[in-house]
Amino acid sequence: MNHSVAQNDARCEVRGVNEAGVARARSARALDEHIAHLANTFQLLASTTRLRIVEALARQEFCVCDLATLVEVSESAVSHHLRQMRELRIVRYRREGRMAYYRLDDGHVADLFRLGLDHVRE
């Protein structure tokens, strides 16, 4: 199929704005700061290594050494990813003596991962 024809098929044939519908949608929009934070979260998760870390932490908590072994990257790389993920509240950690154990910050992150995976599997 001709690409330009497919694009034209997706356009409205009659120009007009549903003012009431646009007003309702605009009043229900999320705050700009929340949208920006969500965009940053999606951008951060756009990494196979970080998604593998999320996948692992959705099941149980791990230390950096275990995560590095599991996702097959260096401990330094995992630490770097985890620091970025902490900044966006994707993960958090707890100390036990000299060890730091990471887990997902909350269940929403695991839900987001599972929903995304379900989406690409269908």
Q: What is the CATH number of the domain that holds 109?
A: 1.10.10.10
Measured at the alpha carbon of residue 72, what is the angle toward residues 112 and 54, in degrees to the nearest 5?
15
Q: What is the rounded CA–CA span in Å between residue 80 and residue 10? A: 43
For residue 86, tell me if it sits in a domain.
yes
For residue 108, tell me if it sits in a domain.
yes
Q: What is the pLDDT along the chain (122 residues), one digit of tens a residue?
A: 455 545 567 787 888 889 999 999 999 999 999 999 999 999 999 999 999 999 999 999 999 999 999 999 999 999 999 999 999 999 999 999 999 999 999 999 999 999 999 999 98
Domain range for 109 is: 18-121
Full-model pTM: 0.82
The structural domain count of the chain equals 1
Residue 8: the pLDDT is: 62
DSSP letter (8 states) at residue 25:
H
CA dist list (Å): 39 to 11, 25, 95, 106, 121: 27, 19, 30, 18, 23
